Amino acid sequence: MDPARPGIPYQPIIEALGNYPQKKFYNVSKLGGTKYDTLPYSIRVLFESSVRNCDGFLVKETDAMNILDWKTKQNNVEVPFCPARVVLQDFTGIPAMVDFAAMREAVRNAGGDPVKVNPACPTDLTVDHSLQIDFSKCAIQNAPNPGGGDSQKPMAKLSPLKAQPRKLPCRGQTGCKGPCGAGDSSRNSGQFSAQIENTPILCPFHLQPVPEPETVLKNQEMEFGRNRERLQFFKWSSKVFKNISIIPPETGMAHQVNLEYLSRVVFEVKDFLYPDSVVGTDSHTTMVNGLGILGWGVGGIETEAVMLGMPVMLTLPEVVGCELAGTASPLATSIDIVLSITKQLRQADVAGKFVEFFGSGVSQLSVADRTTIANMCPEYGAILSFFPVDNVTLKHLKHTGFDKAKLEVMEAYLKAVKLFRNDESSSGEPEYSQVVQISLSSIIPYVSGPKRSQDRVAVNNMKSDFQACLNEKSGVKGFQIAAEKQNDIVPVQYEGNEYKLSHGCIVIAAVISCTNNCNPSVMLAAGLLAKKAVEAGLVVKPYIRTSLSPGSGMVTHYLSSSGVLPYLSKLGFEVVGYGCSTCVGNTAPLPEAIRNAIKQGDIVACGVLSGTKNFEGRLCDCVRANYLASPPLVVAYAIAGTVRIDFETEPLGVGINGKSIYLRDIWPTRKELHTVEEECVISSMFKELKEKMEKGNKRWNLLEAPESTLFPWDLKSTYIRCPSFFDKLAKEPVSPHPIENAYVLLYLGDSVTTDHISPAGSIARSSAAAKYLTNKGLTPREFNSYGARRGNDAVMTRGTFANIKLLNKFIGKPAPKTIHFPSGQTLDVFEAAELYQKEGIPVIILAGKKYGLGSSRDWAAKGPFLLGVKAVLAESFEKVHKSQLIGIGIAPLQFLPGENPTTLGLTGREQFSVLFPQELSPGMTLDIKTSTGKVFSAIALFENDMEITLYKYGGSLNFVARRFL
């Protein structure tokens, strides 16, 4: 939408920017007077967007005035938001682009012009979620592929580093002395070289490239081999569709690249200025709010509509002001701050609200700290957590090489529209819906787990808390291990040595996830701790699956140029690649001997990772306890080999000369961290990253792809398939059909996540998806993962509710099974749904509280839709997922307050009928009848007229597609 087009309602407030008369902007601060001045900064961004995009149809003048009147209208009105751009990652990006390709096909078939089907909103797609850890330092040989995929060549023939490069003198101006080369990084090699600190594996200052670690190259080769067809489709998309750019593999994860490279802070189009803002298909898009950019994650279905020019509709939110005061403990990392804020904001009930930070403590947090906190907001339920731009932000942008002239224009514009926060004065603080006060001084180191990210455990209480978990009944924390078995020890032979496994033993330790990698201080803390540990003679047991998967190559620059990367490698934390791996369930399997020992002794084995999600069974089905921790603590626990340790009184291990080494002996001080940061966090590193992105990936550049207007679908393909969402595309909508005599496909409990609904990890060999792929002639090694096959609706439909941890009350134990009631058979969920569809019987889902928690995944709605699910009846919904259900054409129905299947006497074995009136209205109550004669009421969770319209049209995709006819 042209922001300065003639005839728009608010054209009179377009002004020139002070000393930059060629720059124009909407001076929205003049519209509202004192009302505008008291608005939270995040609401000011919404207001500017509504003014700039006001067209009288999608965005009306009343919408802008409602936002301006936020103080009285919050929670009472729906408002549209037109973000400046869209960010996709490939897991949800590929189905979006497949849908665009299918839409072109459908528009052509309906007599329209397919060339018109293009994103209207600037869109960046980052290929990052396909990374799997096939190779890590302890599994570099003979590791089977967890996703089942295979490359074009046998694993044994993967190209090693054959040619040793010339050792060039480093031309860097900091830290790196002498030639840069890869030293021996094996944990069990001989005497570690004294020159290790002066021989970083990667140096950003060389004019000629140096080799990347062997594991990175091997994982890259595997990725391009198994994902070639998907990558070719992305390449076709980049050539054919306008207004979209594809960030190739091995650049970094979507939200990390969004932060480091794509973020503008202030957009400039034809000399017109407006705030940068973004929506994305990843729930951690919120990271950019730490840079003062309004953004959050929405469903893939909503994102596709935004790409086509539709606004995001949201209830004008409450804004919780989070006042930060005091100074954090030297031992507390950003993760400790994140976990503390997570707990306090959960207790404050910020679900569905904006959080905005203010107070003296804010200026003490770096942008890296802020983005870490902002990135975790989906875990405490907020829509976003916003840090307004201030002097700290500008200083960060300057250090990253931001153009000085643009920086001056940015500052002038933000101050003109009062979007710049003056951290030296609190007299002009906005008014908030409520204020939560958090003292940074009270924060101590924590970990989170063993099953949920909100369950914090103080590090000094870890040993006793794990003991309590062993005693506690099975549930959200407990494992219910009999007292006489809690000290069981299982001996195991591995690589010629005997080790002993017991409850609490560490078997996976992963330094991973954008949450930590965006902050060099916590990553460098891990590296400095590793350096001190190696120098003290400490080691990590070789059977522990260790890995280091940075959010971007820039983090490797931090670690290598500071001289700590070889120490991490020495302990087994070697860079395995760039992208989402362990966090989304992509990890190499444990050694068979270790798996067998764990199962034989019924051991509660542990994974420790510096990620954001620790759902049970996510890492490995035999790793029952998973803890989230800061990177240095991940390394510390890996060295200890167990979570049953009191760091204050018990040593991590025995070092040189038999000396006991405690955590306090190797923990880096804040002064050490700040010194290294000053030396390593320099603008040339960001420049190097930008050049890498602009240059692209060699394999990607050489990849061939078709250039036809319509995609040439390959009927034999098991990756890319034309979906059936547009089969009934018609110009006019039809009234919603009543749901008559529907059976319950699944009867689920509380906190069902999108991982339960649509898994992203490996395809189990006994699953319905595996049967389909086998029938297509694929071997288990060629299955790959669900995430990689999101462009194939047949695989994804079969993968819906295929999570091994799915607890269906009809079955009574975790299993992806259900009962087909007409026949009484216990079947895979897909097989039962397929049978119901053949019989012409609709199905619904019964669920408890917080249905649809977790990542924003479009297939968590598309999959149930293709299974024939007409409605989900739950006690409550996660907001993003609820919107996705409406966006695909599934009715979200909510029990009345205080009611649930138990209180209503429902068994789930009844048949249910729901009658929709001719005219639906937001939040209306519907009557539901059962085959037993019982009648009860439920709320139809349509929040506005737009959602009702989308539902009537059969979802947002069909609604938008009709505009091209």
Better-scored residue on pLDDT, 218 or 239: 239
With 50 as the cut, is the pLDDT of residue 442 above it? yes
Q: For residue 52, what are the contacts with CB-CB under 8 A and spacing of at least 6?
A: 1, 3, 10, 26, 82, 274
HSE at residue 110, side-chain half, CA atoms within 13 A, is: 21
- Which tens digits make up the pLDDT trace of 499-545? 999 999 999 999 875 454 455 678 888 999 999 999 999 999 999 99
Q: DSSP 3-state assignment of 568?
A: helix
Kindly indicate the confidence band of residue 581, based on its pLDDT and cuts at 50, 70 and 90: very low
Q: What is the mean pLDDT of residues 611-618?
A: 52
Instruction: Determine the Cα–Cα distance for residues 68 and 28; give it in Å rounded to an integer.
Output: 10
pLDDT tens-digit map of 176-204: 333 333 333 334 433 332 322 222 222 22
CA–CA dist 347, 349 (Å, integer): 5
The two three-digit tokens of residue 876, written as one number? 């409550």
The answer, yes or no, to whether residue 781 has pLDDT greater than 80, is yes
Q: Is the pLDDT of residue 650 over 90?
A: yes
Kindly tell me if the per-residue pLDDT of 400 is higher than 50.
yes
Percentage of the chain modeled with pLDDT above 70: 80
Give yes or no for a contact between 544 and 138, defined as CB atoms under 8 angstroms apart.
yes
Residues 6+ apart with CB under 8 A from 476: 451, 452, 455
Output the pTM of the full model. Answer: 0.68
**By mean pLDDT, which of 222-226, 727-731, 861-865 is the weakest?**
222-226
- Which pLDDT belongs to residue 132? 47
Q: What is the pLDDT of residues 558-580, one digit of tens each?
A: 777 788 889 999 999 988 765 54
pLDDT greater than 80 at residue 931: yes
Short-list 209, 219, 202, 195, CA closest to 163: 209
Of 207-221, 395-409, 734-748, the range with the lowest mean pLDDT is 207-221
Q: Are 574 and 186 in contact (CB under 8 A)?
A: no
Per-residue pLDDT, averaged over 242-264, amounts to 69
Residue 654's H or E segment, with its range, is: strand 653-654
- Quote the CA–CA distance of 708 and 706 in Å, as a whole number: 6
DSSP label at residue 444: -
What pLDDT, in 10s, does the model give residues 754-779? 989 998 888 988 899 999 999 999 99
pLDDT at position 223 is: 62
CB 630 within 8 A of CB 522: yes
CB atoms within 10 A of CB 491: 10
Strand pairing class (545-549; 606-609): unpaired
Report how far residue 454's alpha carbon sits from residue 447's, in angstroms, rounded to the nearest whole number: 10
Amino acid letter, 229: E
**Which token pair is 490?**
């299982």
CA distances from 689 to 255, 552, 554 (A): 15, 9, 6
DSSP H helical segments within 177-257, as ranges?
214-226, 228-240, 254-257
Mean pLDDT of the chain: 82
Q: Quick check: 258 pLDDT over 60?
A: no
pLDDT at 604 > cutoff 60: yes
- Res. 109: pLDDT tops 80: yes
Structure tokens at 30: 């003049």
User: Considering Cα of 276, then 281, then 282, then 284, what sign does the dihedral take?
Assistant: positive
In angstroms, the CA 965 to CA 963 distance is 6
State residue 194's pLDDT score. 30
Percent of the chain with pLDDT strictly greater than 90: 49
Burial 210-230 (b: 16+ CB within 10 A, else e): bebbbbbbbbbbbbbebbeeb
Q: 858, exposed or middle or buried, with CB in 10 Å at 0-12, 13-18, 19+?
A: buried
Distance, in Å, from the CA atom of 559 to the CA atom of 571, rounded to the nearest integer, reads 14
In Å, what is the CA distance from 469 to each residue of 312, 448, 607, 913, 944? 43, 13, 15, 43, 44
Q: What is the mean pLDDT of residues 951-955?
A: 87
**β-sheet with 354-358: strand ranges across:** 384-386, 354-358, 319-325, 434-439
- Give dist(CA 309, CA 305) in Å, integer: 7
Q: What is the pLDDT of residues 348-389, one digit of tens each?
A: 889 889 999 999 889 888 787 788 788 888 777 889 999 999
Task: Name the one residue in this structure whose structure tokens are 């505008």.
Answer: 36
* Among 190-199, 242-251, 408-417, 641-650, the least confident range: 190-199
pLDDT at 180: 33
Q: What torsion, rounded to 10 degrees, do the Cα atoms 500, 504, 509, 515 define?
A: 180
C-alpha to C-alpha distance for 882 and 775, rounded to whole angstroms: 35
Give me the mean pLDDT over the 24-51 stretch.
94
Q: What is the pLDDT of residues 815-852, one digit of tens each?
A: 999 999 999 999 999 999 999 999 999 999 999 999 99
Q: Contact 933/961 with Cβ under 8 angstroms?
A: no
Query: For position 215, what pLDDT does the model report?
Result: 56
CA gap 581, 514 in Å, rounded: 11
Q: What are phi and psi of 530, to 5 degrees?
A: -60, -40
Structure tokens at 822: 């007409």
Report the alpha-carbon distance of residue 90 to residue 107 in Å, rounded: 24
CB of 771 closer than 8 Å to CB of 745: no
Q: How confident is the model at residue 398 (pLDDT cuts 50, 70, 90)?
A: confident
What does the pLDDT read at residue 153?
34
Closest to 626 (Cα-Cα) out of 611, 635, 616, 639: 616
Q: Which pLDDT score, from 0 to 100, does residue 247 have?
A: 81
pLDDT of residue 161: 27
Torsion of CA 72, 74, 79, 81, to 10 degrees: 120
Backbone phi and psi for residue 713, each to the nearest 5 degrees, phi listed first: -60, 135
d(CA 186, CA 248): 31
pLDDT at 748 over 50: yes
Q: How would residue 214 be classed by pLDDT, with cut points 50, 70 and 90?
A: low
- Which tops the pLDDT comparison, 950 or 694? 950
**Per-residue confidence (pLDDT) for residue 491, from 0 to 100:** 95
The reply to whether omega before 822 is within 30° of 0 (cis) is: no
Confidence of residue 171 (pLDDT cuts 50, 70, 90): very low
Mean pLDDT of 327-334: 74
Distance CA(199)–CA(169), nearest Å, equals: 11
Residue 261 pLDDT level (bands cut at 50, 70, 90) = low
Backbone φ, ψ for residue 838 (5° rounding): -65, -30
Q: At 953, list the tokens.
A: 């049209």
Which residue has better confidence, 885 or 179? Answer: 885
DSSP state of 258: I
Per-residue pLDDT band for 320 (boundaries 50, 70, 90) equals very high
Q: Which residues contact 16 (CB under 8 A, 6 or more apart)?
A: 22, 23, 24
E strand segments, 298-404? 312-315, 319-325, 354-358, 384-386
**In the predicted model, is pLDDT for residue 927 greater than 90?**
yes
The counts of H helices and E strands in the chain are: 33, 34
Q: Note the pLDDT of residue 685.
A: 60
Of the given ranges (254-263, 806-815, 901-910), which has the lowest mean pLDDT? 254-263
Strands annotated E in 343-483: 354-358, 384-386, 434-439, 446-448, 456-458
